[in-house]
Chains A and B, each alone.
Chain A
Amino acid sequence: MSDALLSLTDVVKYFPVQTGHLRRSRDMVHAVDGVSFEVRRGETLGLVGETGCGKSTLARCISRLFELTSGQIIFDGRDISRLRPRQLRPLRREMQMIFQDPYGSLNPKRRVGSIIGDPFAIHGTASGAERKRRVQEAMELVGLNPEHYNRFPSEFSGGQRQRIGVARALALRPKLIICDEPVSALDVSIQAQIINLLSDLQDQLDLTYVFIAHDLSVVRHVSDRVALMYLGKVVEIAPAEELYQHPRHPYANALLSAVPIPDPIAAAKRERIVLVGDVPSPVHPPSGCNFHPRCPKAQDRCVVEEPSLLPRFDDDELHATACHFPVADGEDLSEARPAIGVEHRIVEPDTAGAPTGLGVSVAHGSPGSPESPEPVERRRS
């Protein structure tokens, strides 16, 4: 596929768990655990998943703010996965990030003009009056008043601040923009403004987006294709409508059944699939398919064999699912029961409970430590 702007092969990022100053633990947080996909020029790839599934870590791996543990990233025909900090600088002009928190991502002590002018200053592309002109051009592009050049971030609203972040990312006209939950910190009405701004800019400037979010409706609206992540892995990837119409992975089904429907009658009719248990610790992810402890369709094979990301049923090659027992169209998941043999069972499933309850209360991984340890990483550029 030559039209791929970005291509990931088996990207892995582990963080060491720090236990103390002297003892170095061998435990690792499996933040991103073998992710492969491609992003084509001009498209928007949505990346969804719940908190802690590795979306943001993956974004920082792509933008090379983190060193990869292993794997390969090809950007615009170049392998960027092993570049040194100095070699990365030209790359920064082509790939930019928009951050989640419009309050945290702008330096409070610097004026907007100098914040947006940073890319020009760092890469030495414009200085003095020329830089000011380019900065004001960028401000106009994102719908800010160029005369507010000398203001401080604290004098802007959340939405305006996010526009400043967008202007900074766009200043050098990059090819790829990684949006790390760009709207989740904003009011709903402002969310729409920023999303429309991003899609206008995409048409205008021929941008490619990797759009990270946990809001499924937002992702559906903006994305051409969507990749769904669970515990550091992509479990399903498909064109947006396809994923929402025909989710194959049991996890995708469960997530989509939780999306609010504006019609109360339809909402009441819908069967919600409630997953049992918590996301296992990424320090000791479950064996086989890492979703199996919570999966209503889990079987012995899921415990031992990791499913690969392949088209299932008669889906076309764009729709790939990592599941041994994918969900067919119209299949009722709420009737499903896991069938894991005794030899693989750690805790007896609670089948005596409510008839609609599903899944297993099998606790794989690290018992008694549901919270994942903070990933600790020495940050250096």
Chain B
Amino acid sequence: MSVATSIESGIAGPAEPFGVAPGEADARIEGRSTWELAWARLKRDRAAMISLTVIIVIILVAIFAPVFAAITGHGADAQFRTTGMTPDGLPVAPGSRFVLGTDDQGRDLLVRIAYGARISLLVGVVVTVLVVAVGAVLGLAAGYMGGLVDTIVARLIDVVLSLPYLLFAISLVSINFLGGPGLPIIVFVITVFSWAAIARVVRGQVLSIREKEYIEAARSLGSGSWRIMFVDILPNVVAQLIVYATLLIPVVIVFEAALSFLGLGIPPPTPDWGQMISEAQQGGLYQQAWWFLVFPSAALVITTLAFNILGDGVRDALDPRLERL
């Protein structure tokens, strides 16, 4: 569905500026950039627009997590042993007091999921930006400079892609690297394991762009290596980078949840989706209290799904010719 819409819109897009009558030409003299065209195509992709809306809602929930806490009067870590638990010590089902129910310690799931969104989104976005920046710079340098730089970066990519990341993460935590479990180690591990894929793609692109005549023209004008890499080459890989970045965000979110699930990420009691899922399945309590497992998992699935669909839409919008894999 989304493919059909976006391809169609790519062909039957609104009239180009040079199709405008001579009289009104002055008003539309500015050519539309890749971004304006891509946005126009993306707007016609219904699935992508719904995903975008979902993502905006999740972002708002994350930002206003304290508001949820204030309205319900339930703090993220607060345990309600009397109201939040049945007399048997079981979690309370969803209802008017606890909208999404409580967990095994009588904490409000809604508030905890809202706070958990903060960590997921923060890690997802920050790490992705970091990963793309590192990957792009190393890929550009390797592709454009060649020689020793290229050899070193290419080998580094091979090494990183062949390391088992979970073992690596577990061993880092066990030696208390960067202070043991927590945000720093999550950022570190995910960045170290994700830049290589970006760098490899960028390097390949740069290798072909480097041979273009306009790069030679830039050199004959007196541009230095830095200017050529960032002014002449980078704009030609930015579209690819954005596609990769949108598709990388859900991967990073799942990656973070997986690390927290294994106890390598955010330490309790700070709410985190992966850690909540882990707690829910540990005691087997979810067999009585399904909401305990289902709601954090649903939050994770909906978020990653929305980012994935948006990423697909962005890819189609930026390069309508690209074949869908």
Residue positions of A touching B, CB distance < 8 A? 60, 63, 65, 85, 88-89, 92-93, 96-97, 99-101, 104-111, 118-119, 122-123, 147-148, 150-152, 155, 165, 168, 378-381
Contact = CB atoms under 8 A, between A and B. Distances in A.
Interface in B64-96: none
A97 B221 CA distance: 8
Contacts of A60: 216
A351 to B, nearest CB: 46
A97 B220 contact: yes
A111 B26 CA distance: 17
Nearest to B234: A109
B236 A379 contact: no
Contact of A107 (B18, B147, B232, B238): B232
Given A92-B221, A118-B221, A380-B145, A104 B30 contact: no
Interface of B: 16-18, 26, 29-31, 33-34, 145-147, 210, 212-225, 227-228, 232, 235-236, 238
Contact of B222 (A92, A150, A168, A378): A92
B221 A119 contact: yes
Contacts of B225: 380-381
A379 B221 contact: no
Nearest to A108: B236
Contacts of B213: 99-101, 104-105
Given A99-B216, A105-B217, A378-B146, A122 B222 contact: yes
Nearest to A104: B213
Contact of B223 (A97, A100, A118, A378): A118
B31 A152 contact: yes
28 contacts: A63-B220, A85-B224, A92-B221, A99-B213, A99-B216, A101-B213, A104-B212, A104-B214, A105-B216, A106-B214, A106-B217, A107-B214, A107-B218, A108-B236, A109-B235, A109-B236, A109-B238, A111-B31, A111-B33, A122-B221, A148-B29, A150-B30, A155-B17, A155-B18, A379-B210, A379-B215, A380-B145, A381-B228
B219 A168 contact: no
Contact of A123 (B17, B33, B222, B232): B222
Nearest to B147: A378
Contact of A93 (B33, B216, B222): B222
B218 A118 contact: yes
Contact of B224 (A104, A150, A152, A381): A381
B158 to A, nearest CB: 15
B220 A89 contact: no
B220 A96 contact: yes
A123 B225 CA distance: 14
Nearest to A59: B220
A298 to B, nearest CB: 38
Contacts of B33: 111, 152
Contacts of B30: 150-151
Given A150-B30, A150-B31, A380-B145, A65 B216 contact: yes
A111 B17 CA distance: 15
A378 B225 CA distance: 13
Contacts of A63: 220
A60 B219 CA distance: 11
A380 B219 CA distance: 8
A63 B214 CA distance: 15
Given A104-B214, A379-B216, 8 more contacts: A88-B222, A104-B213, A107-B232, A110-B235, A122-B221, A150-B31, A155-B16, A381-B224
Contacts of A93: 222
Contacts of A111: 31, 33
B217 A97 contact: yes
A147 B22 CA distance: 13
A151 B31 contact: yes
B10 to A, nearest CB: 15
B235 A381 contact: no
Contacts of B29: 147-148, 150-151
Nearest to B227: A122
Nearest to B237: A109
A303 to B, nearest CB: 38
Contact of B34 (A92, A109, A379): A109
B236 A92 contact: no
Most chain B CB atoms below 10 A, which of A93, A109, A122, A151: A109
B182 to A, nearest CB: 41
Contact of B219 (A65, A101, A108, A151): A65
A101 B219 CA distance: 16
B31 A381 contact: no
Contacts of B227: 122
Contact of A381 (B16, B26, B212, B223): B223
Contacts of A378: 146-147
Contacts of B17: 155
Nearest to B220: A97
Contacts of A110: 232, 235
Contact of B220 (A65, A101, A147): A65
B210 A155 contact: no
Nearest to A103: B213
A92 B220 contact: yes
Nearest to A89: B222
Most chain B CB atoms below 10 A, which of A65, A96, A122: A122
